[in-house]
Amino acid sequence: MILSLLVVISIWVAVGLLVWRERAESLRTSALLTASLTRVVAERMDRTLFGIDRLLKDSITLLQAREDVHRDILINQMRVRSADFTELRNMFMLDAGGVVRISTIASLEGADLSHRSYFQDLRTGGGQDRLIITSPLLSTATGRVGILALRPLFDRSGAFDGAVAAVLNPEFFTDMLGGVMSTEVDRSVIANLNGDVLARLPGQSSDAVASIRTGPLFSEQLPRSRSGTFIAESAFDGKKRMASYIALERYPVVVSVGVTVEAALRRWTFNALVIAVAGAAFTLLVAMIATLLDRRDRAQSRAAAALIASEERYRTLVEGQKDLIHRYLPDTTLVAFNQAYADFHGQPRAVLMGKKWLDVVPEPMRADILAALAEMTPSSPTHEDLRKVPRPGDGVERWIEWRTTAEFDEIGMLLGFQTIGRDVTDAHAAEQANAEREEIYRQIFHHNPAVKLLVDPATGMIVDANESAALFYGYPVEMLKSLRITDINILPPQQVREEMAAVEREERMFLRFKHRLASGEIRDVEVYSSPFHAGGRPYLSSIVVDVTERNRFEAELAARSAELARSNAELEQFAYVASHDLRQPLRMVSSYVTLLGRSLADRLNPDESEFIGFAVAGVKRMDALILALLEYSRVGRANEDRGIVDLGEAMVEAAANLGLGSQDVEARLEVEGTLPMVMGVRGELVRLFQNLLGNAIKYRHPDRAPLIRVGCRQDGGEWVVWVEDNGIGIDSKYFDRIFMMFQRLHAETEYEGTGIGLSICQKIVRTHGGRIWVESEPVQGSRFMVAFPAVDRTAGLSKPVPASV
Ligand code: ADP
């Protein structure tokens, strides 16, 4: 603004100077013009007066040379000579008394002009030989105005002797001035040295008597210099005028040509106006430019302020970033970076600045990085990659996503790079975990032989289905995913929805439905369904098991079991009835054979008595067998309720039943530890131990007293109880056979028995959900093992059994 003000001031100073100079120039030009015109007039004036003066001098010479010169000759010569001068009106000669003696106009001769001031001047001139020029004078003789040029005459003694005069036409002077008048020159004057105006343009009526004696020319200029130019207020019209003047050297005449200052400056006024207008226009232009510049400056300063603010914002933004922002030269010399980047390096900013970051990159990575940087061009100035790098600060490996932008100048020279690194380790880990979960889901859901459906419980839409489902239902997976569960479940949709709602409420997770396949076939399915939420939406995950075959099989099995149970019952009924009813005739046979034996006792020879004895024994054995059979058939049909049975107590009772511990039985029983509680029928369990203990006593070794050891151990989900003896033992090839009905390893005569005891044991154990087997070493002894399903691990219900009874 100040600058433009200065420019404007300068412009106007220049305009002022220019106008001033122009004014001075105009005045100078006018001065030159008036001076040269004045000179022209002066020269012509001088020449004319020279001619007139010559004429006067010649006339004087003529007069003085010949005193007796004849008046007529003189007049004639005057006439002849004056004919050469158009300006010359007439000539005459005055005598010392002022009377006209000789005149080219005869009527003038004799006229007394002694009263004329010029005559007075000549007479009192002190003998000075000079030319006098009068003011325009009215001739009384001719009645015309004329200007007289006079020269005095002197006699031989040098005394005044009259004068010679030439009368000049004033118009001649006026014409002489007219030649120089122009638009430039508005006033010109010729005057004698008295200040009498001889001629003047423009003319005035009073000119005849005008005098400029008191004007500035005569009062100021002429006393100083014979010629010059000056500016002064005109005595005639009061206008300021510039005038040049010359006082002729030889003649008493002053010539002056003038122009009003106004006229002299007319051109200048116009020029000054033009200059001023130009100056004003220029000022306006400058003002406009200044305004525009100012506006631009303001806009620029606003933009600069905005830029600074935005730079500041950018800086704070960059500083606040967790991203690793850094700028560097082509050789990776760091020139700028944010705090996060410095922290990443674990170094103070001042230390890091100016370092090449490539130096801290592990050697094997460098080539790759340099290649990536070198590949960047002005048309492709960006590069992105994901790299796992050791954090220079602590060496911890991080996944960083690097985004690099190369910067080029306008001719494509590489200036440097800016890189933004984002630590995506966590995101990467999360991504990998997601991918793993996806894979797990894919494996569990899709790559699975089980038929799986994912259902939206709100709409019933099948959201996802696996290949097994596609195979089972006969629809492609994509098609399955466009179906609703109600499209394949044959139940009414409302009921299906209710079932799904129950699953969603986790009231049910196992459902039985009938599903329709693409072929139209209806299959029985079991659906294991569980609700879960993912992404805020509920889903039902269902495993569909085709149980059509199993159902059919189960139905068949059930029918067969029913049939079997019925026939078993029939058989058992038959066995019971048979064994029960068979004993009656057996008893009769036995009684009557015994009676027959007794009545025929003295008549029978020893062989016959022995036969009768065999018959009775056979009958008894048959009875025992039937009894055993009866007992076998009763196992599992006991009236007694099932309950928790303390095996320790059952063992004690069985031992007591056998009379173990009494004087009659020499066998010893040792129980180790505490026998467990099992779920079962007490009477049958007593029976089981009774059979096992009984056999241990029966199959004793002949050389040693029987020792029975009872023990137990928990083995997984079962209790194993054993009864071990030191008897004759069993060959391992009979281990299975001994549990079969009526299978015995010894003759009846050797060891009494029916071969059904262990069969009963096995039946009891099986009806209790257990197993029985034997371990034995012949001659050493046998160990019968019984495994029961464990009922309760808390030992609160069991009671210790005495170590020995
Ligand atoms: P029984 O004892 O009436 O013959 P079991 O069914 O009780 O019928 O036994 C079948 C067979 O197993 C017996 O004949 C015997 O040979 C064998 N046996 C059973 N217990 C023992 C044992 N503790 N020691 C040796 N052998 C035995």
Q: Using one digit for the tens of pLDDT, what is the confidence trace for 195-224?
A: 888 888 877 644 445 788 888 888 888 889
Q: Is there an atom of ligand 1 within 6 Å of 590 CB? A: no
Which residue's C-alpha comes closest to atom 21 of ligand 1?
A: 695
Computed over every residue of the chain, the mean pLDDT equals 86
Site to probe by mutation for ligand 1, drawn from 730, 734, 750 as the one with most ligand atoms within 8 Å of Cβ, is: 730
Q: What is the CA radius of gyration of the chain?
A: 83
Ligand 1, atom 24, lies closest to the CA of 699
Count, residues in the chain: 805
Indicate whether residue 755 lines ligand 1 (CB < 6 A): yes
Backbone angles phi, psi at 671, to 5 degrees: -110, 125
Q: Whose CA is nearest to atom 27 of ligand 1?
A: 699
Q: What is the mean pLDDT of residues 391-399?
A: 89
CA angle 662, 664, 666 (to 5 degrees): 80
Task: Count CB-CB contacts under 10 A for residue 54.
Answer: 11
Q: What is the pLDDT of residue 797?
A: 43
Ligand 1 centre to CA of 456 (Å) is 67
Question: What are 546's strand-pairing partners?
Answer: 525
Q: 569-596 in b/e burial notation, b at 16+ Cβ within 10 A?
A: eeebeebeeebeebbeebeebbeebeee
| Residue 383 phi, psi (nearest 5) | -145, 135
Asked if residue 240 lies in contact with residue 262, where contact means CB atoms within 8 angstroms, the answer is yes
What is the predicted pLDDT for the residue at 326? 92
Instruction: State if residue 695 touches ligand 1 by the CB under 6 angstroms criterion.
Output: yes
What's the pLDDT at 51?
87
CA 743 / ligand 1 centre spacing (Å):
9
Q: Does ligand 1 lie within 6 Å of residue 730's CB atom?
A: yes
Q: Say what the pLDDT of residue 706 is.
A: 93
pTM of the model: 0.40
Least confident of 162-166, 659-663, 688-692, 716-720: 659-663
Q: Could you tell me the two tokens for 764? A: 């009891």
Per-residue pLDDT tens digits for 39-97: 888 898 888 888 888 888 888 888 777 666 677 777 887 778 777 778 888 888 888 88
Distance 668 CA to ligand 1 centre (A): 19
Q: Is the CB of 248 under 6 A from ligand 1?
A: no
For ligand 1, say whether the CB of 625 is within 6 Å of any of its atoms.
no
Q: Which atom of ligand 1 is nearest to the CA of 743?
A: 10
Pair of tokens at residue 264: 């002299």
- Is pLDDT at 104 greater than 50 in this prediction? yes
Q: How many CB atoms lie within 10 A of CB 211?
A: 15
Q: Looking only at Cα atoms, what is the longest distance across the chain? A: 267
Dist CA 294 CA 301 (whole Å): 10
Return the ligand 1 atom nearest residue 745 CA.
16
Mean pLDDT of all residues in 726-746:
93
Whether 744 lines ligand 1, by a CB cut-off of 6 Å, is yes
Given a cut of 60, is residue 524 above it in pLDDT? yes
725 pocket-lining for ligand 1 (C-beta < 6 Å): yes
pLDDT value of residue 357: 93
Residue with more model confidence, 309 or 476: 476
**Å from CA of 755 to ligand 1 middle:** 7
Residue whose CA is at the smallest distance from ligand 1 atom 2: 753
Three-state DSSP class for residue 259:
strand
Ligand 1 centre distance from Cα of residue 673 (Å): 27
What is the CA(310)–ligand 1 centre distance, in A? 106
Residue type, 140: T
Q: Tell me, in angstroms, the distance from the centre of ligand 1 to residue 757's CA.
A: 8
Shortest-distance atom of ligand 1 to CA 781: 24
pLDDT at 804 over 60: no
Which residue, judged by its Cα, is nearest atom 16 of ligand 1? 745
pLDDT value at residue 801: 41
Q: Which of 75, 76, 86 shows the shortest CA–CA distance to 51?
A: 86
pLDDT category of residue 235 using cuts at 50, 70 and 90:
low
* Most confident residue range from 23-32, 237-246, 275-284, 544-553: 544-553
C-alpha of residue 744 to centroid of ligand 1, in Å: 6
Q: How far is the CA of 777 from the centre of ligand 1 (A)?
A: 14
Give pLDDT, residue 664.
72
Q: Which of 699, 736, 762 to mutate to test the pocket of ligand 1 (most atoms within 8 A of CB)?
A: 699
pLDDT surpassing 90 at residue 771:
yes
Q: Regarding predicted confidence, which is higher, 572 or 740? A: 740
For the Cβ of 784 lying below 6 angstroms from any atom of ligand 1, the answer is no
Supply the residue whose CA is at minimum distance from atom 12 of ligand 1: 738
Q: Is residue 462 very low, low, confident or very high in pLDDT (cuts 50, 70, 90)?
A: very high
For strand 707-715 and strand 668-671, is the pairing parallel, antiparallel, or unpaired? Answer: parallel
Going from the Cα of 684 to the center of ligand 1, the distance in angstroms, rounded, reads 19
Helix (H) or strand (E) holding 30, with range, is helix 2-65
Is the Cβ atom of 776 under 6 angstroms away from ligand 1? no
Can you give the pLDDT at residue 796? 41
Summarize pLDDT for 471-511 with one digit per residue, the tens.
Answer: 999 999 999 999 999 999 999 999 988 988 888 888 888 89
**Atom 7 of ligand 1: nearest residue by CA position:** 757
- The rounded Å distance from CA 418 to ligand 1 centre is 97
Query: Best of 692, 710, 758 to mutate for ligand 1, by most ligand atoms within 8 A of CB?
Result: 758
On whether the CB atoms of residues 528 and 542 are closer than 8 A, the answer is: yes
User: Which among 707, 738, 742, 784 is the best mutation to test ligand 1's pocket, defined by most ligand atoms within 8 Å of the CB?
Assistant: 738
Query: Could you tell which of 658, 687, 690, 698 is best to mutate to test the pocket of ligand 1, judged by most ligand atoms within 8 Å of the CB?
Result: 698
